Structure 1
Amino acid sequence: MKIVTIGGGEISELETLDLDSFICNQTGKSSPKALFIPTASGDAEGYCKTFHHVYGERLGCKVDFLLATRSDFTQQDVLQKILYSDLVYVGGGNTQKMLAIWRDFGIDTALRLAGANGTILSGLSAGAICWYEAGLSDSDRFSADSGSSWSLTRLEALGFLPGAFCPHLDKEQRHAPLQELVRSSGVRAIACDNGAAIFWEGGVAQVLASLPDAYAYVYREHAGEVRIERFTSGQNLPL
């Protein structure tokens, strides 16, 4: 499988444009069929328009959408749209709710089949967490009452990639809770700043970046301590 997991950045402000172009180029096609899955945002209309502007108008893709929260959505839509696509891009938002919907409709199964058949899998934030075994997620904040407290928590994901993933490391003060997750569970974690991404292919994980000073990190537990390594664009992660 080829999978690109983006730590964050505003697609509407073209902060991830170099990464988006890389994703398109991995298809090997001049006008790839790009499927946007915005389940985590509740299929937000504005998000869909932004994706169409970037991937359709700027990058020359033939864009389609899989809108799983609509009442007329069917399992047949899943197979037709996902298996027809050259690349799949999953948007950010509520990871927990997204994964629950996917499992109800068999979207997770279709994505695994598509990836095995050569479709490029990708996404940002929630759309990056989903491919790993687990992630450090802010899904609790979407269900918290206004003004009430919530915390970042471990969330089990699809397991296409090993370890746990943490997006937005530089922007949302996730370092301390990620350290605690790694210390308490022993899981290896990969984290990305906004504008940084990991490209997985054939068991190799390469760092990409679209913003200056955007890095990827590996967190490992050793003898009760958490060791952290930082990696720049073009480097491979130790796996």
Structure 2
Amino acid sequence: MKTPTILATSGGYVPGTRVRAEFGPLVKYALELAGAGGTGRTPKLGYLATACGDQLSQIAEREDAGRLAGIEVNPLRLFVMPNVEDIEGFLMEQDAIWVDGGSVENLLAVWRVHGLDAIFRRVWEAGVVLAGVSAGSICWHRGGTTDSFGPTLRPVTDGLGLIPYDNGVHYDAEEQRRPLVHRLVTEGTLGRTYCTDNGVGLVYRGSELAECVAEVPERSAYVVENVGGEAVEEALPTRLLQ
């Protein structure tokens, strides 16, 4: 049995030449974690764009990125109805799952309508690597910070909780993120919170952090905890992917 693994990121895409965006090292690392490299077959990446409403243009862009990278991208669409009859069986057939960014609260609501909160736990426990960016990072945790409700960020506290900690994404790139995480940790709304600069990912083996990786030099991951009633931030060792 493979160890349940999650790669939660604030990255995964790089500017493309023939397409707008190509898969970066973080997406490819998700498949490496799944043991899909060097198998003599095309790696299979399940792809969910629920957080942006399953926009067909975005799904097509990711399929193009997969074609260029030699990755079979298999979309699971939930709008206007699921595009597969057996959602759980479909996900179990993938090497890894990549969940795109957008509205994490809308994503969680739609997933629960279709029973994906329970399905994803079984898929994770079966050894399919779960991964994603932004909303696709927060969703695996207890919660984090989100713009799902508007331009002023607010807490989200109803994540799937596969990871028993909270998550701060785009930590270096959006000015509201770091101070809000610190305030919410100080208040107790969020607990221990693992955060990622753009281009950085958190690798969890089981429910514990195993390593931090980056596809961009000089970017980091952090942990923020309440120590004596104050939020204390610590930078974590982060390995640059080749």
Q: Specify the TM-score bucket, using the shorter chain as the normaliser.
A: 0.7 to 0.9
Partner of 1:88: 97
Asked whether the 8 Å contact 2:95–2:129 carries over to 1, the reply is yes
Q: Taking structure 1 as the reference length, what is the TM-score of the superposition?
A: 0.87
Residue matched to 1:7: 10
Report how far residue 101 of structure 1 moved: 0.6
- CA separation in 1, counterparts of 2:83 and 2:25? 34
SS of alignment partner, residue 76 of structure 1: coil
- 1:173-231: per-residue Cα shift (whole Å, max 9, x none)? 11111100100016111110100000111434210000112110100111121111012
Map 1:1-239 onto structure 2 (within 5 A): 1-8=4-11, 10-11=13-14, 13=16, 17-29=24-36, 30=39, 31-54=42-65, 56-70=66-80, 72-73=81-82, 76-141=85-150, 150-173=152-175, 174-185=177-188, 187-202=191-206, 203-234=208-239
Distance 1:49 1:75 in 2: 17
Residue 198 of structure 1 contacts residue 206 of structure 1 at CA under 8 Å; is this kept in 2? yes
Opposite residue 23 of structure 1, the aligned amino acid is: A
- Runs (4+) of structure 1 moved beyond 6 Å? none
Q: SS where residue 185 of structure 2 aligns?
A: helix
Higher helix share: 1
How much does 1:87 deviate? Answer: 0.9
Conserved? CA contact 1:218–1:229, under 8 Å? yes
1:136–1:178 Cα contact (<8 Å) kept: yes
Paired residue total: 226
**Aligned CA distance change for structure 1 residues 212 and 92 (closer, same or farther; 3 Å):** same
Mind listing any 5+ residue stretches in structure 1 that lack a counterpart?
A: 142-148
CA distance in 1, matches of 2:33, 2:44: 12
User: What is the CA-CA distance between 1:58 and the residue it aligns to?
Assistant: 3.1
Judge conservation of contact 2:12–2:25 (CA < 8 Å) in 1: no
Distance in 2 of aligned mates of 1:122 and 1:94: 16
Kindly indicate whether the alpha-carbon contact (under 8 Å) linking 1:43 and 1:67 is maintained by their aligned counterparts in 2. yes
Identity of aligned residues (%): 28
Give the 3 Å change call, closer, same or farther, for CA 232–50 of structure 1 in structure 2: farther
The 8 Å contact of residues 173 and 198 in structure 2, kept in 1 or not, is answered as yes
From the superposition, tell whether residues 15 and 210 of structure 1 become closer, same or farther in structure 2 (CA, over 3 Å).
Answer: farther
> Which residue pairs with 1:145 in the alignment?
none
Aligned-residue offset at 1:8: 3.5
Any stretches of 5+ residues in structure 2 without a counterpart? none
